[in-house]
């Protein structure tokens, strides 16, 4: 039996824990890798009241229908990805929490035309915070992240960051962002972020 | 004092901050606030280069980005940068500059012989001389490049870092002169997000070059400082100095380059040298000012001949005397500004030569009142002095301005300030495809209708040459731009200043000389490209009419110059010659970049290990630890082979290939694309996108599929498994994963929106490892709870089970021809499961194998690889795979398979090839012929697609696409190689070289 | 770089999109009934218009949805965005010589 502590994140080889700091920092940017995410991709018809209700029932969260927004609840976030696509997110180190979340949704959506697909294993979640977080993202992301354009905490978008596709979620107006990237790109994106943040000073912090 | 020509005080230079620099190896002093050009002039140096074609001595002409002559190589290798305009290089302590267009030295120039031979170098000379024979072009090009003196690229690696960033704003203001400052202020006060880009390190634009201007009752200098302070205090306004807007693209997208550290003698380590701004704005206000055009007169390129505004700039902004005794040559009022400022600075003004019969205008009147000698209706008809102006000759013009009357008078001088009027800087507006209109009064092109929405011009860039109108128009444009973004204008009124134009003018495009045009003297139109008025006339005589053709033939306004100084003069001369009106001749196309941009800026941080993403599988670190060499497959980095104990590639691959067939191998197959397909119509969907039948595939069963494009050509292949009632998992080739998903979504969303199917990429959700070989079942049984019996899990079947305690998907499918299991586990467990398998597999001699061994193994079985055996022109029939094509249903690409062309017997078809000498391995890509001729060309039959040494067959094996190949079995073909060898080979009966009956899969 | 208003995600940079070429070319319902020439017309031949063009676009790095756009191929102005399956909007084509 394999123990869950043997799970590896996409950045395991960088040994981040070894050179992370827990202390508050003067650096313009704080960078960290969040614990392995739990994520379930959800497809369905938001015009179908039964679908919307079933999701609300299963997750205790309203389905966000406003583009580029997320609804958040107890340890859970539901991100709008498209007119018929959402991502249910949870930070939970438990190895098989993802399967449980997917099963719960599948059960709730039984009989409807919907699709539930586990996605968290394919993702790496990076956190970027600090006064210059927006400036760093702007170096590779074509989105306008100004508070007037990107509506602050709870706003999300799928876009590009450098040469990687990312899902961006603003988690604090401070500002702080979570970046979800496919795990094979995580090493590239981490190194890119460190390089892009260099001029502002960058601290690798504990998540 | 920093230079013998420096004034003791004044200007925008720090008189107490001395800087040292070298020019062509000699050391000089300059001041903080100098440009390289002003520092040279302060030291009395005018001559800074030689011309492109004739190698004539050339001096500094301007004080800005329009400079045609003072091109410099600045810095040492590796930081050396060519083609910098001395007028734009901020002086820093320790700066090293070289003239780049003089060999072996500026003073003695071998290429000046070109000048002696200049009657052999007319327009089109290079085209006429160097085009034939075409094979000699390489030699000519080398000669031209060296003679052209366009600088030298650094040889060493660039040690600097460059940054790129996106940016967004409501209002972009290009140019920080009076109009730009006014526009930024009014847009900023309204609350808009504003970016003001100024190429200079000082705001103020033309105000820096003049004296005595008053705005709102205060000196212009104080007004600029107040404006700058207010902009800095507005939270949504950003002022980017040392930032040149070099390009206007579509939908109000702009390219800007910020020089971040070039002006710092010791740049901080964390800062990039330059930054590229990729800016999207809702509104733009072009306030780029205007560029003074020189007059085109005989030998107007002598060092010491400058534009009048440049002289003003050097006197007023840089506090220096560009000469001791000057002649001003003008055809409008603004030339008198230089005369007045020079007089005030103690430069003797020998005469103002005014082409206008009746000199008039506000500055003219002041000069008259001061008693300056004004020669109305006169022109400079000759300039003497090779390395510096010594003397001019002036004479009266005829009434039509085409000829000279009377006896010329010689006037000694060392400086000529010429003014031919002003051209609004419309480059960016035109790059954005805006249309121009001709303004007869000012004799210049002005912005007319913008092609893109949200574009305005203001100030001199829009033909408003008076300071008061610049401020007013800037204020209005800024407010309008902000209003268009939804911001109500603030009620602050526009700043007030006197309005003074440069009219009246007498527009003479070509000033006659003492001799017929083209004889003894040269009238330069474009000094950077060494184009004369005679060249333009020659082009017209040779039949060129379109201004675009004249431009290319003569090279006027090309390259880095982009017609900043010479364009309108050239058009005017052409118009005169063909007897037309200037706007009818039209303008040439303005192209980005406005000024040259160094390559590093475009590379940004996309260099070295950030050049492209390197995609790593969950087991990547294991492969590294175990000595794998890697191969790039798209962006993925895959283990290629694992050499042990000094093995070479051949030995390692042989060992891995043998191990799989003998006992057991393990492959990291994570990179294969995986698409999750769910919905009641999933089977119908698969039936339409694959060539074979899918409606009856049972749950838990796998099937191989070929996917075509609508043109009938193979685009991908892979195994798809039915996981559940309405649930399938498709696999794709590694390189095609994204393309296949895109292809499927395209059909699903656009052709068959009625199908109830959802597609999701799950490639990275799983770590995939393949156990392959006779011992695969035993090992898997050791670590899994699955029933692996052939009855429970036959070939092409699937089961969900635990592997090493982890929930897994097990697919019994094979790409090696051996008993194989493809195991998918959650990606985060990939490393742990892989380690468990490799450890537990030791008792079976488990051998990790890489992509190379995988290729050999599949080739032994004749399995194709899409992209290797196919190239977008190969059908299933060409591959001998008709067995995978349904004859009873439609599918994407089917109709194309019955096109007439598909029945051609000489289509290239896939065949097996065996070399006559079993030890010889054909190179992949080798061309095949029927008969070897003594030398090429020979009719080619096709090429080798795959070729390996097969340890299991004990010989080399190959596959090839050969014309009519299926009918050529047993024929001998030849592969003539580049090294002179020829390999003979025989078309085999089959592509399957190993276990043709497939016994080992059972 | 164009700024394209994804009907779902809003205005986004062109680099997030993939252009799928000319719109309103429907896959024939019964390909087998077409002559070689008719089939070739569908598979290979596209107009190349200076002026008003109708194109398919996919928000590849966003919501992955396809949509149609009417665009002026001279000014690059995007004149309309409309769903797949809808007829092209009635727009006045500008004349270019
Ligand atoms: Zn979208």
- Based on the fold, state whether residues B841 and B720 are members of the same structural domain: yes
User: In chain A, what are the domains?
Assistant: 10-35+121-204 (3.30.1360.120), 37-120 (3.30.70.1520)
Contact B871, B878 (CB under 8 A): no
User: How deeply is B795 buried, as exposed, middle or buried, from its count of CB atoms within 10 A (0-12, 13-18, 19+)?
Assistant: middle
Q: Find the C63 Cα to ligand 1 centroid distance in Å.
A: 4
- Indicate if B556 and B701 belong to the same structural domain: no
In a domain, residue C29? The reply is no
CA-wise closest residue to B276 among B176, B431, B162 = B162
- Parallel/antiparallel/unpaired status of strands B348-354 and B374-376: parallel
Asked whether residue B820 falls in the same domain as residue B914, the answer is no
Whether C63 and A83 lie within 8 Å, measured CB to CB: yes
In this structure, are residues A127 and A33 in contact, taking their beta carbons and an 8 Å threshold? yes
Question: Of B250, B742, B751, which has the smallest distance from its Cβ to C27's Cβ?
Answer: B751
Task: Give the H/E segment covering residue B549.
Answer: helix B547-554
| B277 and B331 fall within a common domain | no
Q: Tell whether B379 is covered by a domain.
A: yes
pLDDT of residue B143: 53
Name which of B74, B46, B50, B44 is nearest B60 in CA terms. Answer: B46
Q: Do C31 and B433 touch (CB under 8 A)?
A: no
CA of residue B901 relative to chain centroid, distance = 41
Residue C93 resides in a domain: yes
Do A115 and B618 count as a contact with CB atoms less than 8 A apart? no
In Å, what is the CA distance from B465 to each residue of B331, B479, B616, B932? 16, 20, 61, 77
Residue B278: its chain C contacts at CB < 8 A? 1
How many C-beta atoms lie closer than 10 Å to residue B547's C-beta? 22
**Total of domains in chain B:** 6
For A:122-181, CB contacts with B below 8 A are: 122-123, 135, 138-144, 146, 148-149, 162-164
Strand residues in B413-453 grouped as ranges (E): 415-419, 422-424, 436-439, 444-447
- Token look-up 């492959």 returns B667
Interval between CA A140 and ligand 1 midpoint (Å): 19
Cα(A109) to centroid(ligand 1), Å: 25
Q: Which residues of B touch A6 (CB under 8 A)?
A: 829, 831-832
**Nearest residue, CB atoms, C10 vs list A68, A83, A160:** A68
Pairing of strands B14-23, A37-43: unpaired
Q: What is the pLDDT along chain C (97 residues), one digit of tens a residue?
A: 999 999 999 999 999 999 999 999 999 999 999 999 999 999 999 999 999 999 999 999 999 999 999 999 999 999 999 999 999 999 987 777 5
Give the distance (Å) from ligand 1 centre to CA of residue B482: 28
B751 and B693 inside one domain: yes
How far, in Å, from the CA of A64 to the mean position of ligand 1? 15
Among the partner-chain residues C1, C15, C63, the one whose CB lies closest to the CB of A81 is C63
Sign of the C-alpha dihedral computed for residues B965, B985, B868 and B999 taken in this order: positive
> Is C92 among the domain residues?
yes
Parts of chain B with a pLDDT under 70? 1, 101-150, 559-560
| Smallest CA–CA distance from C31 into chain B, residue | B895
Asked whether the beta carbons of B286 and B470 are under 8 A apart, the reply is no
DSSP string of B385-397?
A: -SSS--EEEEEEE
Q: Do B807 and A96 touch (CB under 8 A)?
A: yes
User: Is B281 in the same domain as B430?
Assistant: yes
What is the C-alpha to C-alpha distance for residues B864 and B733, in angstroms, rounded to an integer?
A: 11
- Tell me which chain A residue has its CA closest to the CA of residue B803: A1
Interface contact flag, A82 C8, Cβ < 8 Å:
yes
> Residue C94 domain-assigned?
yes
Q: What is the chain C residue with the closest CA to B896?
A: C39
- For residues B790 and B838, state if they share a domain: yes
Neighbouring chains to B with at least 3 Cβ pairs closer than 8 Å = A, C
CA distance A23 to chain C (A): 36
Sheet order of strands, B673-678 included: B702-708, B714-724, B727-732, B673-678, B758-761
CATH number of the domain within which C61 lies = 3.30.2270.10
Given CA atoms B832, B836, B842, B847 in this order, what sign does their dihedral have? negative
Complex-level ipTM beyond the 0.95 threshold: yes
Tell me the C-alpha distance between B11 and B9, whole Å: 7
The answer to whether residue B251 neighbours chain A at the CB level (below 8 Å) is: no
Residues B375 and B428 both lie in one domain? no
The answer to whether B796 and A152 have CB atoms below 8 angstroms apart is no
How many structural domains comprise chain C?
A: 1
CA distance B621 to B699: 36
Residue ranges of E strands in B94-226: 95-99, 162-174, 194-197, 214-215, 218-219
The tokens describing A76, both together, are 């859970």
Alpha helices in B450-497 (DSSP H): 467-484
**Cis link prior to B133 (omega < 30° from 0)?**
yes
Tokens of C97: 């010589």
- Look at C85 and B753 and tell me if their CB atoms are within 8 Å: yes
HEC per residue, B591-613: CCCCCCCCHHHHHCCCCHHHCCC
Question: Which pLDDT value is given to residue B562?
Answer: 75
| CB–CB contact A68 C9 (8 Å) | yes
Q: Note whether A113 contacts B830, CB cutoff 8 Å.
A: no
Q: Which of C9, C13, C60 is the best substitution to test chain A (most A C-beta atoms within 10 A)?
A: C9
Q: How far away, in angstroms, is C7 Cα from ligand 1 center?
A: 7
**Residue closest to B945 by CA, chosen among B857, B849, B862, B854:** B862
Is B862 a domain residue?
A: no
Burial letters for B159-180: b for 16+ Cβ neighbours within 10 Å, e otherwise? Answer: ebbbbbbbbbbbbbbbbbbbbb
> Which among B647, B646, B629 has a CA at the least distance from the CA of B638?
B629
Minimal Cα distance from A144: which residue of B?
A: B168
Do the Cβ atoms of C12 and A143 come within 8 Å? yes
Q: CA nearest B539: which of B527, B554, B525? A: B554
Indicate if B371 and B395 belong to the same structural domain.
yes
B452 touches chain C (CB under 8 A): yes
- CB contacts of C8 in chain A (<8 Å) are 67, 82-83
Q: How far is the CA of C2 from the centre of ligand 1 (A)?
A: 15
The packing angle between helices B776-783 and B830-840, to 10°, is: 120
Which residues, numbered 598 to 617 in chain B, qualify as contacts with chain A under a Cβ-Cβ cut-off of 8 Å?
A: 605-606, 609-610, 612-617
CATH of the domain at B365: 3.50.50.60
Contact A188 B280 (CB under 8 A): no
Q: Are residues B33 and B123 in the same domain?
A: yes
- Distance CA(B970)–CA(B719), nearest Å, equals 33
Whether B416 and B440 map to the same domain: the answer is no
Q: Subunits touching A (CB < 8 Å, at least 3 pairs)?
A: B, C
Label residue A1 by pLDDT band (50, 70, 90).
Answer: very low
Domain assignment present for residue C38? The answer is no
C57 located within any domain: yes
Are B429 and B302 contained in the same domain? no
Q: Is residue A143 within 8 angstroms of chain C, CB to CB?
A: yes
How far is Cα B263 from Cα B274, in angstroms, rounded to an integer? 11
Question: Which tens digit of pLDDT belongs to each residue from B492-547?
Answer: 899 999 999 999 999 999 999 999 998 999 999 999 888 999 999 999 999 998 88
CA angle A160, A161, A167 (to 5 degrees): 65
Count how many Cα atoms sit within 13 Å of the Cα of residue A27 in the half-sphere of its side chain. Answer: 22
- Whether residue B787 is contained in a domain is answered as yes
Structural domain containing residue C83: 47-97
Instruction: Give pTM, 2 decimals.
Output: 0.94
Does residue C77 sit within a domain? Answer: yes
Query: Are the C-beta atoms of residues B151 and B83 closer than 8 Å to each other?
Result: yes
Collapsing DSSP to helix, strand or coil, B401 comes out as: coil
Gap from CA of C4 to ligand 1 centroid (Å)? 10
CA distance B945 to B961: 7
CB contact under 8 A, C58 and B453: no
Q: Compute the radius of gyration of chain C from its Cα atoms.
A: 15
Structure tokens at A64: 């966000």
Q: Which residue of B has its CA nearest to C28?
A: B751
Using the Cβ of A49 and the Cβ atoms of chain B, whether some distance falls under 8 Å is answered with no
Q: Which helix or strand (DSSP H or E) is residue B185 part of?
A: helix B178-189
End-to-end CA distance of chain C: 25
* B618/A8 touch (CB, cutoff 8 Å), yes or no: yes
Distance of CA B987 to the CA centre of its chain: 48
Cα–Cα distance measured from residue B983 to residue B762, given in angstroms and rounded to the nearest whole number: 45
For A89, list phi and psi in degrees, rounded to 5: -120, 150
Task: Look at B250 and C2 and tell me if their CB atoms are within 8 Å.
Answer: yes
- How far are the Cα atoms of A184, B347, B666, B775, B850 from residue B662, in angstroms, in the given order? 33, 96, 13, 8, 16
Note down the domain range covering B816.
668-849
Determine, for residues B251 and C2 on separate chains, whether the beta-carbon distance falls below 8 Å: yes
- B714, B866 in Cβ contact below 8 A? yes
Contact assignment for B678 to A8 by CB distance below 8 Å = no
């Amino acid at each position: 039996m394999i123990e869950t502590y043997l799970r590896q994140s996409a950045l395991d080889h960088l040994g981040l824990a070894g050179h992370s700091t827990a202390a508050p920092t003067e650096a313009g940017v704080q960078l960290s890798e969040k614990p392995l995410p739990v994520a379930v991709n959800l497809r369905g018809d938001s015009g179908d009241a039964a679908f919307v209700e079933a999701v609300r029932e299963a997750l205790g969260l309203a389905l966000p229908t406003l583009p580029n927004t997320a609804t958040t609840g107890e340890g859970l976030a539901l991100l709008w990805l498209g007119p018929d696509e959402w991502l249910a997110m949870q930070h939970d180190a438990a190895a098989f929490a993802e399967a449980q979340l997917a099963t719960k949704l599948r059960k709730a959506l039984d009989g409807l035309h919907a699709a539930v697909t586990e996605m968290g294993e394919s993702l790496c979640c990076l956190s970027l915070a600090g006064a210059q977080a927006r400036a760093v993202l702007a170096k590779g992301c074509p989105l306008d992240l100004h508070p007037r354009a990107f509506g602050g905490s709870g706003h999300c978008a799928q876009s590009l960051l450098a040469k990687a596709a990312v899902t961006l979620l603003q988690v604090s107006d401070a500002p702080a962002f979570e970046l979800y990237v496919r795990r094979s790109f995580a090493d590239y994106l981490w190194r890119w972020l460190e390089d892009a943040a260099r001029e502002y000073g960058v601290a690798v912090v504990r998540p | 004092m920093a230079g013998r020509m420096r004034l003791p005080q004044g200007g925008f230079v720090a008189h107490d901050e001395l800087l040292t620099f070298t020019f062509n190896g000699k050391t000089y002093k300059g001041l903080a606030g100098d440009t390289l050009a002003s520092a040279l002039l302060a030291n009395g140096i005018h001559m800074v280069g030689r011309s492109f074609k004739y190698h004539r001595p050339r001096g500094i002409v301007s004080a800005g980005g329009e400079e045609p002559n003072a091109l410099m190589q600045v810095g040492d290798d590796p930081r050396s940068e060519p083609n910098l305009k001395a007028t734009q290089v901020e002086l820093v302590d320790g700066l090293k500059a070289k003239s780049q267009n003089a060999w072996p030295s500026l003073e003695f120039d071998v290429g000046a012989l070109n000048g002696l031979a200049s009657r052999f170098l007319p327009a089109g000379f290079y085209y006429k001389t160097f085009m034939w024979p075409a094979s000699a072009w390489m030699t000519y090009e080398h000669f031209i490049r060296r003679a052209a003196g366009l600088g030298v690229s650094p040889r060493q690696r660039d040690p600097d870092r460059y940054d790129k960033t996106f940016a967004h704003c409501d209002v972009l203001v290009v140019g920080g002169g009076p109009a730009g400052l006014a526009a930024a202020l009014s847009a900023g006060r309204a609350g808009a997000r504003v970016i003001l880009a100024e190429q200079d390190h000082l705001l103020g634009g033309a105000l820096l070059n003049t004296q005595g201007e008053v705005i709102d009752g205060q000196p212009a200098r104080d007004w600029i400082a107040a404006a700058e302070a207010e902009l800095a205090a507005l939270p949504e306004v950003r002022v980017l100095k040392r930032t040149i807007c070099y390009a206007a693209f579509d939908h109000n997208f702009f390219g800007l380059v910020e020089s971040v550290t070039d002006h710092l003698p010791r740049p901080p380590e964390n800062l990039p040298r330059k930054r590229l701004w990729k800016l999207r704005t809702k509104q733009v206000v072009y306030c780029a000012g205007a560029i003074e055009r020189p007059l085109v007169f005989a030998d107007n390129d002598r060092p010491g001949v400058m534009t009048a505004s440049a002289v003003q700039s050097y006197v007023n902004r840089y506090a220096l005397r560009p000469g001791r005794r000057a002649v001003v040559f003008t055809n409008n009022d603004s030339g008198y500004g230089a005369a007045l400022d020079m007089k005030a600075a103690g430069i003797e003004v020998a005469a103002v030569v005014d082409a206008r019969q009746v000199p008039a205008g506000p500055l003219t009147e002041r000069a008259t009142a001061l008693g300056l000698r004004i020669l109305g209706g006169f022109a400079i008809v000759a300039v003497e002095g090779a390395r510096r102006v010594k003397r001019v000759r002036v004479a009266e013009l005829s009434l039509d301005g085409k000829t000279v009357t009377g006896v010329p008078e010689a006037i000694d001088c060392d400086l000529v300030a010429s003014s031919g009027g002003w051209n609004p800087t419309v480059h960016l507006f035109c790059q954005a495809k805006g249309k121009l209109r001709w303004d007869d009064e000012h004799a210049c092109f002005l912005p007319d209708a913008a092609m893109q929405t949200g574009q305005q011009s203001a100030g001199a860039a829009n033909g408003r040459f008076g300071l008061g109108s610049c401020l007013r128009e800037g204020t209005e444009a800024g407010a309008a731009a902000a209003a268009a973004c939804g911001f109500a204008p603030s009620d602050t009124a526009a700043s007030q200043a006197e309005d003074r134009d440069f009219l009246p003018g007498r527009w003479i495009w070509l000033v006659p000389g003492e001799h017929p045009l083209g004889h003894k003297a040269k009238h330069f139109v474009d000094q950077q490209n060494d184009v004369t008025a005679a060249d333009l006339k020659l082009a017209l005589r040779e039949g060129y009419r379109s201004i675009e053709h004249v431009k290319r033939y003569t090279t006027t306004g090309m390259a880095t110059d982009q017609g900043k100084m010479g364009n309108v003069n050239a058009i005017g001369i052409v118009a005169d010659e063909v007897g037309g009106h200037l706007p009818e001749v039209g303008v040439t196309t303005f192209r980005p970049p406005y000024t040259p941009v160094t390559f590093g800026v475009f590379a940004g941080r996309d260099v070295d290990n950030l050049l492209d993403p390197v995609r790593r599988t969950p087991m990547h670190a294991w492969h590294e630890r175990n000595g794998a060499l890697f191969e790039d497959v798209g962006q993925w980095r895959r283990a290629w082979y694992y050499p042990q104990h000094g093995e070479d590639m051949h030995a390692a691959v042989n060992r891995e290939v043998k191990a799989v067939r003998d006992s057991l191998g393990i492959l990291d197959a994570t990179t294969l694309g995986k698409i999750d397909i769910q919905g009641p119509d999933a089977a119908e969907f698969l039936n339409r996108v694959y060539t074979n039948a899918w409606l009856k595939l049972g749950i838990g069963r796998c099937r191989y599929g070929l996917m075509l494009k609508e043109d009938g050509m193979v685009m991908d292949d892979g195994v798809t498994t039915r996981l559940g009632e309405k649930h399938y998992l498709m696999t794709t080739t590694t390189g095609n994963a994204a393309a296949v998903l895109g292809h499927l979504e395209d059909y699903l969303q656009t052709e068959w929106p009625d199908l109830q199917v959802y597609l999701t990429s799950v490639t990275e959700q799983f770590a995939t490892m393949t156990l392959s070989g006779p011992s695969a079942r035993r090992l898997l049984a050791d670590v899994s709870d699955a029933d692996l019996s052939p009855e429970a899990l036959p070939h092409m079947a699937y089961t969900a089970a635990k592997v090493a305690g982890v929930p897994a998907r097990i697919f019994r499918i094979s790409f090696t021809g051996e008993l194989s299991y493809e195991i998918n586990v959650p990606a985060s467990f990939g490393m742990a499961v892989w380690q468990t398998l490799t450890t537990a597999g030791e008792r079976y001699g488990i051998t990790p194998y890489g992509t190379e061994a995988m290729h050999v193994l599949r080739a032994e079985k004749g399995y194709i690889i899409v992209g290797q055996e196919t190239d977008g022109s190969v059908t299933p029939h060409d591959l001998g795979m008709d067995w995978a094509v349904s004859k009873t249903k439609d599918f994407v690409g089917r109709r194309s398979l019955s096109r007439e062309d598909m029945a051609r017997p000489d289509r290239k078809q896939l065949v097996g090839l065996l070399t006559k000498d079993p030890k010889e391995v054909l190179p992949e890509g080798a061309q095949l012929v029927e008969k070897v001729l003594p030398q090429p060309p020979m009719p080619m039959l096709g090429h080798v697609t795959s070729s390996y040494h097969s340890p299991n067959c004990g010989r080399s094996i190959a596959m090839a696409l050969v014309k009519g190949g299926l009918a050529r079995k047993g024929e001998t073909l030849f592969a003539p190689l580049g090294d002179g060898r020829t390999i003979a080979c025989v078309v085999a009966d089959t592509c399957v070289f190993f276990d043709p009956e497939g016994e080992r899969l059972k | 770089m164009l700024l394209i208003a994804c009907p779902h995600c809003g205005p986004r940079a062109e680099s997030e999109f993939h252009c799928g070429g000319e719109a309103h070319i429907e896959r024939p319902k019964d390909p087998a009934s077409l002559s070689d020439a008719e089939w070739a017309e569908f598979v290979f031949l596209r107009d190349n218009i200076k002026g008003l063009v109708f194109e398919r676009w996919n928000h590849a790095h966003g919501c992955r949805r396809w949509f149609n756009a009417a665009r002026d191929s001279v000014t690059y102005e995007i004149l309309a965005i409309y769903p797949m399956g809808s007829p092209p909007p009635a727009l006045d084509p500008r004349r270019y010589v």
